[in-house]
Chain A
Amino acid sequence: MADISTLNTTVAGFDAVSSRLASGPSGRKPRRMLSTRNIVLYGTLTVAALYYLLPLYVMVVTSLKGMPEVRLGNIFSPPLEITFEPWVKAWAQACTGLNCDGLSRGFWNSVRILVPSVVVSIAVASVSGYALANWRFKGAELFFSILIIGAFIPYQVMIYPIVIVLRELGIYGTLTGLVIVHTIFGMPILTLLFRNYFASLPVELFKAARIDGAGFWQIYFRIMLPMSLPIFVVAMILQVTGIWNDFLFGVVFTRPDTYPMTVQLNNIVNSVQGVKEYNVNMAATLLTGAVPLIVYFLSGRLFVRGIAAGAVKG
């Protein structure tokens, strides 16, 4: 098979050459690859790219070294002897306070926080966005404006009132409380995202469904939802990275044994007791960064679309 296909391309190449010879030069003048412009352009971009990659490289390299090698100096040198012990230690043995069961606890806490928060915040925001886009009622735009302006209010201003509300409801410090907090602060951006998306869908579809007698929920579940899977994915990317990376709400609204991964990581690395184990610290940092990084590398363009939708249209 391989032979035949190379033969084919060679034949095609011959054809192309012979026809070009017959009709004289055609097409664009070939650009020189190594012009000064290109050297400067790609040179600058490559240097910048290396700078951005450097911390990631240092993290990986440090986490694979043993402590004696780390102490020898040079954070940029590749490990002489690769060891995965720091990773094991970061995951299963690193200490925060009296607990010495590693970051795994924080990881599972974060998962337990992440899943319901993402589901609830997207469900609530998509329904609100749908109501705003297709079922406008008097005053709806006012609430929406408050919501959007509220997105700029520093969290610190609203944290204490929320603590009081949650305490009155008896859910301060519980998982439910934190899910509510993430739903609240995810609402402005997500509602905006969904509102704009639903408003961009053809109105005729909505009208046709209305004429056929479909109601609010029926249209939502049977027309809007199936048609807007991409925007749900974008919203999911936004929320997964946002909630996983959250620190402030984790500190304020959870208790030490339910601290999310970011909080626990900070406690492990910045603890004052004991000898600093830089390799374990870097392994722990990488482990915490792994989830959003994986989401980022897998989602590619959608991630960019998410932040652009959130930012530019805001």
Chain B
Amino acid sequence: MAAHAPTGRPNQLFRNLNAKIASIPMMLVALVIFLGGTIWTVFYSFTNSRLLPRLNFVGLDQYERLWASSRWIISIQNLAIYGILSLIFSLVIGFMLAALMDQKIRFENTFRTIFLYPFALSFIVTGLVWQWMLNPEFGVQSVIRSLGWTSFAFDPLYNPDIVIYGILIAALWQGTGLVMCLMLAGLRGIDEDIWKAARVDGIPMWKTYLLIIIPMMRPVFITTLVIIASGIVKVYDLVVAQTSGGPGNASEVPAKYVYDYMFQAQNLGQGFAASTMMLLTVAIIVVPWAYLEFGGRKRG
């Protein structure tokens, strides 16, 4: 058989019995929760369940209602803006910090500790701190005004047009340290000789980074991208803590839409449809990556 188990006795079902028993929780989680639960939710998104799940199929009604809802449209727009910007900024900032950290500097540990500590904090804590920092009456805006620039205006949390950028600032503060760490690990994995060769050839440093190092770090970039992206789709606590979706519903996100419809508005069908759309978003990101990753592993 395909198994490379150390014991070679062919006694199918009872072979490795203890290992099988020990793996029961894992199998249950994989099959019942991850596979079963997902299928269940997708299945019930075609019903008109409200307070309790009911098998009363209504086709794509829930999806039509979903895409007709202005709140959902705002959620999706916010997710797109937040997602694209936080991908770009966290990769750029994270890489630049890592590149600076990789210059054989002193106090590397201290700097790393400082850049990474926000990542240990929860999104709730992050959201509440930045809610306070961006408070227009007492926070950054009022401090800058008191310095003399009286017309200065920066109140993202109270301005529906830019509220999502206020959330972005907090998210970047929390998450760039992680990207920096991953990038630094990638940079450390690059052979010293490449740097030496580039120096001998007289290639300027920025060009070496752009044309040699970054292309070499492709796997690290892809992994980081997948991690950040799947985190972005899940963003929920941060918004709840920082703005509760407000002002109005200007900072709603899909995850919050799902929660509110499932557990507060007693409209399960809408919640299931919205969460299925979230699943679809993640699948678009993850499936190509998983295909490359797992396909490559089988060959190797």
**Contact residues of A with B, CB < 8 Å?**
41-42, 44-45, 48-49, 51-56, 58-59, 62, 70-71, 73-76, 124, 127-128, 130-132, 134-138, 140, 143-147, 149-150, 152-162, 164-165, 183-184, 187, 191, 206-207, 210, 215-217, 241, 244-248, 251-252, 262, 265-266, 269-270, 278, 281-282, 285, 288-289, 292-293, 295-297, 300, 303-304, 307-308, 311-312, 314
Contact A153 B5 (CB under 8 A): no
Given contacts A41-B100, A154-B255, A247-B124, 11 further A-B contacts (CB under 8 A): A45-B97, A131-B22, A136-B4, A147-B29, A150-B29, A150-B35, A152-B286, A161-B33, A216-B16, A265-B125, A311-B178
Contact A312 B182 (CB under 8 A): yes
Question: Could you give, for residues 1-42 of chain B, a 1 whenever the CB lies within 8 Å of some chain A CB and a 0 otherwise?
Answer: 111111100000001101110110111011111111110110
Q: Which of B226-267 contact A (CB under 8 A)?
A: 226-227, 230, 233-234, 236-237, 240-241, 244, 255, 258-259, 262-263
Taking the closest CB of chain B, its distance from the CB of A128, in whole angstroms, is 4
Contact B124 A262 (CB under 8 A): yes
| A73-B142, A191-B26, A311-B227 as given contacts; A157 in contact with B120, CB under 8 Å | no
Q: Which 4 A-B pairs have the closest CB atoms?
A: A150-B34, A245-B122, A135-B19, A216-B18
Q: How many residues of B contact A (CB 8 A)?
A: 100
Most chain A beta-carbon contacts within 10 A, residue among B25, B41, B112? B25
Tell me whether B138 is interfacial, beta carbon within 8 Å.
yes
Contact B128 A265 (CB under 8 A): yes
Contact A140 B23 (CB under 8 A): yes
Chain B residues with CB under 8 A of A278: 132, 135, 138
Contact A217 B290 (CB under 8 A): no
| A52-B114, A187-B29 as given contacts; A145 in contact with B294, CB under 8 Å | yes
Chain B residues with CB under 8 A of A71: 138
Chain B residues with CB under 8 A of A244: 122
The one of A140, A146, A159, A241 that contacts B31, using a Cβ cutoff of 8 Å: A146
The one of A74, A157, A245 that contacts B37, using a Cβ cutoff of 8 Å: A157
* Cα A156 to Cα B142 with chains together (Å): 39
* Cα A131 to Cα B18 with chains together (Å): 9
* Cα A289 to Cα B128 with chains together (Å): 11
Looking at B68-76, B81-89, B207-215, B272-280, the stretch in contact with chain A turns out to be: B272-280
Contact B279 A157 (CB under 8 A): yes
Q: Which residue of A lies closest to B26 (CB)?
A: A128
| A288-B125, A307-B178 as given contacts; A314 in contact with B132, CB under 8 Å | no
Contact A307 B122 (CB under 8 A): no
Contact B113 A153 (CB under 8 A): no
| A41-B100, A150-B30, A312-B185 as given contacts; A155 in contact with B142, CB under 8 Å | no
Tell me whether B143 is interfacial, beta carbon within 8 Å.
yes
Chain A residues with CB under 8 A of B166: none
Contact A293 B121 (CB under 8 A): yes
Contact B31 A143 (CB under 8 A): yes
Chain B residues with CB under 8 A of A145: 294
Contact B279 A160 (CB under 8 A): no
| A128-B26, A146-B34, A161-B37 as given contacts; A73 in contact with B105, CB under 8 Å | no
Chain A residues with CB under 8 A of B20: 131, 137
Contact B22 A128 (CB under 8 A): yes
Q: Which residue of A lies closest to B176 (CB)?
A: A52
Chain B residues with CB under 8 A of A127: 22-23
Chain A residues with CB under 8 A of B7: 210
* Cα A157 to Cα B230 with chains together (Å): 13
Most chain A beta-carbon contacts within 10 A, residue among B124, B182, B237, B255? B124
| A248-B236, A262-B124, A278-B132 as given contacts; A158 in contact with B111, CB under 8 Å | no
Tell me whether B156 is interfacial, beta carbon within 8 Å.
no
* Cα A150 to Cα B290 with chains together (Å): 12
The one of A184, A210, A247, A307 that contacts B237, using a Cβ cutoff of 8 Å: A247
Chain A residues with CB under 8 A of B132: 58-59, 62, 75, 278, 281-282
Contact A162 B33 (CB under 8 A): yes
* Cα A266 to Cα B126 with chains together (Å): 11
* Cα A54 to Cα B126 with chains together (Å): 12
Chain B residues with CB under 8 A of A128: 22-23, 25-26
* Cα A299 to Cα B30 with chains together (Å): 31
Q: Which residue of A lies closest to B45 (CB)?
A: A157
Contact A135 B220 (CB under 8 A): no
* Cα A288 to Cα B178 with chains together (Å): 21
* Cα A274 to Cα B31 with chains together (Å): 48
